[in-house]
Every structure is written in C-alpha cells, then in structure tokens.
Amino acid sequence: MAGFAEKFLPEVAAKLDYYPGERPLFDLYGVEDEIQRALEHKAQLKSGGHLVIDQTEAMTTIDVNTGAFVGHRNLEETIFKTNLEAAHAIARQLRLRNLGGIIIIDFIDMADEEHKRQVLRGGES
C-alpha cells in the first residue's frame, strides 16, 4: 500500500500509517453506524428535533421539526435554536449524502426577523 501511494499519490503517502489493532477501524470509529444514519429518512438533531429528508429525481425536500414543546414563553427561542442547529445539520447531511440540485428546506416558522437572518446565514450575528 505504501509503495502504491508513493508512486501514484505522493501527497498522501506521508499520511499512511499501519494499524495493528484487533478491532476493525470501521467499528472503532463508528463508520458503519454513521453510514447507516446518513441513509435514513429521518436525521435526529442533538436538541431532540429532527430532519425529514425526502429525495426524488426532481428535488430534495427537507422538513425541520422540533422534538419537544417548551411552552409559549420560550417557544420562539426553542424554534430559533432548533432551526439554527438544523441549518448546520443540513449542510452536513448534504455532504454526507452527496446531494445537489434543487433543495427545498422547510424551517419551522419564526416571527423574529433577526432570527430568520441568522438561520439563513448559518448562525452569524
């Protein structure tokens, strides 16, 4: 492997290292679990919300849903944080799934205009 890399991929050769461990690397780093999650219809968010990702030949649609209702007083902040987390998760999911073309994202409706701007900019204030 090292000889092949030195000949055909010299920029990668220095990064190669032999792994002598018993446990397969895919198990060690959870690669198979990550691949399985990337192929699921629903992607969980750390906050408890989730994304529903539907793909057709014409387009991809992504629906953002909040997992738990916090109450009217904190509802706007909960929605903002869920949408912000979703924006970052969507970018990751698009890369993992190698998605492009027409992508429609249905964020949770927000009343605060500044919150809308921040979500569209990916969290910049």
Give the pLDDT confidence of 72-112 residue by residue, as tens digits.
568 888 899 999 999 999 999 999 889 999 999 999 999 99
Q: How far apart are the C-alpha atoms of 88 and 86, rounded to whole Å?
A: 5
Residue 57 has pLDDT above 90, yes or no: yes
| Three-point CA angle 77, 121, 85, nearest 5° | 45
Query: Are 93 and 105 within 8 A, CB to CB?
Result: no
pLDDT for the residue 72: 57
Q: With 60 as the cut, is the pLDDT of residue 69 above it?
A: no
Res. 65 pLDDT band, cuts 50 70 90: very high
Helix (H, G, I), strand (E, B) or coil at 89: helix
**Average pLDDT of every residue of the chain:** 89
